[in-house]
Structures are given as structure tokens and as C-alpha cells.
Structure 1
């Protein structure tokens, strides 16, 4: 069997850059559309496409971040000044943020769990698609991914769930490695290779 050395090398070194360490330039519309096309090429039992994208870019990111900060203050009026600054920059840390929204629903043949995992696969594919086009990326799910009060602000419907917010931009610093689990801690072998 032959291997694709470029892909193997990429997977061996793939890293996320924290969103607060991203800067311009970010991808333009044509590049974003290419990323979303690549991200959509995931296992999808029943061809349901049980996910959709919301792309946040430009000035709207600041307006939405301010609305999220207001919601955060309503929930916790004693937020520190530092946390208020954090809330006000939720969607402005990276030039582009893409919400991957799970639209999983009961289906006669396809379990909801499989549909949800398909949305997770889209998130990972989008990270890799951004990297393939020369950008850095980070998959985040913060408090507003789980707080339905934020859904109207973000354009998410009541019957949907956020699989993740994918932040995309250019790196301010090179990625650093982090500890990875030892295979002996995460693998169970059943049978032999004979």
C-alpha cells in the first residue's frame, strides 16, 4: 500500500492556534466557499447533510460580540472588567468564524447520534480545509454554544445545536506542541494480526 506523505506528515503535526493568537489576513469569500465545500465531504449516512454553516465576518462580528457580552452580563452582573473585555471580543479574535450547526433530528433509518457525529466530522474537516488553504484554525465551543438565549443573536434555530465555532485566520505565532495520549492508554486490541 502506498501512502500520501504530505497528508501523513500533516496529520502527524496538525495543531490548532488559539483564536486570540490569530490576525489578518483572513480568507475571502471564494476561499471560505472552498473550505466549506471541502468540509462538507464527510461520512453522512443517508445523505441527510444534518448540519449547516453560519459564517461571521466583517463588522457584524463586533455587533454580535457586544450582544453576547450583554447576555453574559445579564447572567452574571458581577463580571470582572477583564471578563467583560473577553465577552466583547468573542467573535472578533479571528478574521472569520464559522458556526457548524447540527440539524440532527429523529429519522427512520439514521440514528441522531450518527447525524451528530457527522457534524463533528465537518468541524474537523473545516479545520483541515482552512490549514490546506494556508490559514490557521481553532475549534471552540464556548458558553453561547449552549445558551439558547444567544441563539437568536447567532442565527441559530431553537431545534439546532452548535457543533462548534471554527475560528480562521493567520497565525501571530507558530504553533506549539502539546502532550498527546499514549496509545497504551487509549487502545484496546481484540484478536491478532495473523
Structure 2
């Protein structure tokens, strides 16, 4: 009986970690995280998710792509904004780009495929937490940049779902404000 309660407590205490540090997951741990993501809900077994892991020196190259993305949106971006984009991938030892690969299907609309890929992103975060890492799922303008997606190998039928940053939590977990289920639930 205690294992399920421990699992529920784990899920009820989960929160994003905006500050992450080394070390990141090993190759074997990343494999375990990905295996968890592959168990996401998947109507018709379309497997609409793709993952691109970025770590080590490749984070610097990815930062260059983020700066180029920023300058495409805002050619007059100041140096502070450019540096922020350049250094964004260095905020964690591992960045996983989560991508949805959309497929025409008579029973599975695109919105459902996007939700499935979103579940995969969240599963990555939960798996990281279960292995004593922390994570944060980031979106924003970079996640809407089709050229950035192409730059890391994305296809025409694909979109970013976001970027899951993974590492060790730097500092204590941020406080979680209490929530009451009655504010979000009703019986019909």
C-alpha cells in the first residue's frame, strides 16, 4: 500500500526547476527517460513524437541557432537579448527538443497527435524527477520557429512541442502554492 502513496506524493509534489546544474543524465539514464516517453498515449500507434537531445559542446552550437532565430524575429535585438539566446542551452546539462511528427489519419486529428507528443514531453520530465534529476519544459518563440526546427533536422510535417531542460536542481525546490481540487472539478 505504501508504494502507490509514495508515487502519488511524488506526482503531487512535482514542479519545474528553472535552475539546473551538472551532472546531467548518463546515456543509460537518458535511454530510460526516452523509454518512459515512448509509453505516452498514442491513438492508432502513430508514434507522433521525436526527440533530439542536445548536450555537451552541442549546446553551444544550439545557442548559435537560437541567436539566429532571435535575429530572424528581431533583427535589432540588443546584445543582452542575443547573449540570453546564445546562453539559453547552457542553463542545463541536457536539452531535449520534443517534436511532433504530424501524420494524416482518418481517426487521429493533428490536435490529438500534438497532445500525445505533449504527454511524451511531460513523461520525460517525470522520468527525470524519478531518477533524482529535475526538469523544466520551455516553449516560447523558439518553439514556433520553423527554420530552427529544420536546422536541427526536423521535417516539413513536424513542429516543436517544446524543449525539456534536464539536470540537477540548483537550490531548493520552489514553493508550490496550495490548490483545491474543487476549484477545477465538478461532478456532472
User: How many positions carry a matched residue from both structures?
Assistant: 188
Q: Which is helix-richer, 1 or 2?
A: 2
| 1:132 CA displacement | 0.9
Check the 8 A contact 1:64/1:153 in 2, yes or no.
no
- Give the match for residue 129 of structure 1: 127
Q: Which of 95, 118, 121 matches 1:120?
A: 118
- In the alignment, structure 2 segments of 5+ residues that lack a partner are none
**Does 2:59 correspond to 1:58?**
no
Between the aligned partners of 2:116 and 2:26, the Cα distance in structure 1 is 26
Once the two structures are superposed, residues 100-144 of structure 1 have per-residue CA deviations (whole angstroms, 9 ceiling, x without a partner) of 111122202222222211111111111000111111101111212
Distance 1:155 1:83 in 2: 25
Query: Which deviates more from structure 2 when the two are superposed, residues 61-70 or residues 29-38?
Result: 61-70
Give me the CA root mean square deviation: 1.8
Structure 2 distance, partners of 1:71, 1:164, is: 15
**1:138-170 Cα distance to aligned partner (Å, 9 max, x none):** 111121210112122232222101112110001
SS at match of 1:110: coil
1:101 and 1:163 in contact (8 A); partners too? yes
Residue 13 of structure 2 corresponds to residue 13 of structure 1? yes
Unaligned runs of 5+ in 1: none
Find runs of 4+ consecutive structure 1 residues off by over 6 angstroms: none
**Compared with structure 1, are the counterparts of its residues 148 and 90 closer, same or farther at alpha carbon in structure 2 (3 Å cutoff)?**
same
1:188 aligned onto 2:186: yes
Match for residue 34 of structure 1? 32
Q: Which has the larger radius of gyration?
A: 1
After TM superposition, the structure 1 = structure 2 runs for residues 75-154 of structure 1, keeping only pairs within 5 Å, are 75-154=73-152
